Structure formats: C-alpha cells, structure tokens
C-alpha cells in the first residue's frame, strides 16, 4: 500500500476550524470530549486534532461534525474559508497533493 497523502494546508485549516468551534462553544476540549464519550461511548481524541500533526479520517471527521452539531459540508466551507488554496482551481490542480 502506498504512503498516505498528507496535505499540511488542509490539516492546519481543519485544526483551526476545530479550535474555532471550541471557542464558539466556550468550553474546554477535554471536558467536551469526556461529555461526548459519556453520551455516545466513543472517545474522539479531539485534543489531537487541535494541532496540525494529524491526518483525520472521514469517519473521525464525521464524528467530530456530529459532536459539534454541524454538517460536513458546513465544516468544509469553514475549512476553505481558512485557506483559500483549498478551493478547487484548475490552474493549481494537483499542486497541494504532490
């Protein structure tokens, strides 16, 4: 199996959006994660995703969106707003993936 693709611009923007969502809720990361674990039975390890040293899976991202009560499309709109390079542009196609 080939090496996993990791796009720094994407992981940084995802981390920034997650931090913003916490600020909007006005709560502590660990407290929120523990509350979700108690209600759902799954530990999201959310503190890991507040740094840019991650490569989140689609399933984990879905769970994070569920936790924050927003759709994945809304989440990715916020991600693209954080870094405009993440919006598709034919002239830049493949640049971030390389």
> pLDDT (tens digit, 9 = 90+) per residue, 39-64?
888 888 888 888 888 899 999 999 99
pLDDT at 65: 95
For 48, 65, 93, the CA distances from 97, given in Å and listed in that order, are 23, 24, 8
Q: What is the reported pTM?
A: 0.86
Residue 82 has pLDDT above 60, yes or no: yes
- CA 25: distance to chain centroid? 16
Q: Radius of gyration (Cα) for the chain, nearest Å?
A: 14
Nearest alpha-carbon partner for 29 in 43, 14, 11, 13: 43
pLDDT at 83: 97
Residue 33 has pLDDT above 90, yes or no: no
Structure tokens at 81: 């707003």
Give CA–CA dist 44/27, Å, rounded. 16
């Amino acid at each position: 199996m080939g090496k996993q693709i990791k796009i720094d611009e994407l992981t940084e923007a995802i981390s920034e959006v997650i931090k913003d969502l916490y600020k909007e809720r006005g709560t502590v990361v660990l407290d929120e994660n523990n509350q979700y674990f108690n209600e759902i039975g799954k530990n999201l390890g959310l503190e890991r995703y507040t740094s840019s040293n991650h490569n989140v899976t689609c399933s984990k991202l879905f769970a994070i969106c569920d936790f924050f009560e927003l759709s994945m499309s809304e989440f990715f709109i916020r991600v693209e707003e954080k870094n405009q390079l993440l919006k598709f542009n034919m002239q830049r196609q493949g640049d971030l993936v390389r």
